Amino acid sequence: MNDMSKFFQRVVILFLFASMTACSAVKSDDLSEKQKTVLGLYLTAQEAYNLVKRGGNKIMFDVRTLAEAKEGSPRFAINVPILIREKEHNQVVFNTNFVTTIKEKLKKKGLDEQSTIIMISNQGKRSARAVNTLAKKEYQKVYNVVDGIIGWKEKNLPLSD
């Protein structure tokens, strides 16, 4: 009887976990146009944390500026800004080395364009742009953290020191 109780307990736990993850799925209808991506793959900060924490062939990029990332970034995220300040004209422009840098960081970790990639920015807008940029280069499993660093902080998820 004790073994049967343990079995049912495990089944209930698995069912609850599956129900919770299904209910928390982000719907594109709930997003602003600037948060939407061509791939349609979205995560909340909590979901991103849970996914990366499990390990495996996944990587997270913080696409905010270096100054923003220094104020606190997810502990396991690699900072690769999608926008940079052009010194000559003092304006913010697209980082032309963005895709190349992403590819280099993936290769260093033994990953490639088919690996799961998670993009995070402050509010999910720049990270959406990052997802769309990579999608144009045939990357297929790139997720946007739609509540971004703001959601990360609201959930008290771990930040770098």
For residue 14, pLDDT over 80 is answered with no
* Assigned domain for 20 exists: no
* Assigned domain for 161 exists: no
Residues spanned by the domain of 35: 26-154
Give the pLDDT confidence of 79-131 residue by residue, as tens digits: 999 999 888 888 999 999 999 999 999 999 999 999 999 999 999 999 999 99
* Assigned domain for 18 exists: no
What six digits make up the tokens of 135? 């999608």
CATH of the domain at 98: 3.40.250.10
Strands 91-94 and 83-86, bridge-based pairing: antiparallel
- Burial code (b: 16+ CB inside 10 Å, e: under 16) for 29-68 equals eebeeebbbebebbbbbbbbbebbeeeeebbbbbbbbeeb
* Assigned domain for 19 exists: no
Short-list 153, 76, 71, CA closest to 117: 76
* Assigned domain for 122 exists: yes
If one counts the domains in the chain, the total is: 1
Give the pLDDT confidence of 20-57 residue by residue, as tens digits: 343 347 888 889 999 999 999 999 999 999 999 999 99
* Assigned domain for 97 exists: yes
For residue 151, pLDDT over 90 is answered with yes
Does pTM top 0.95 for this prediction?
no
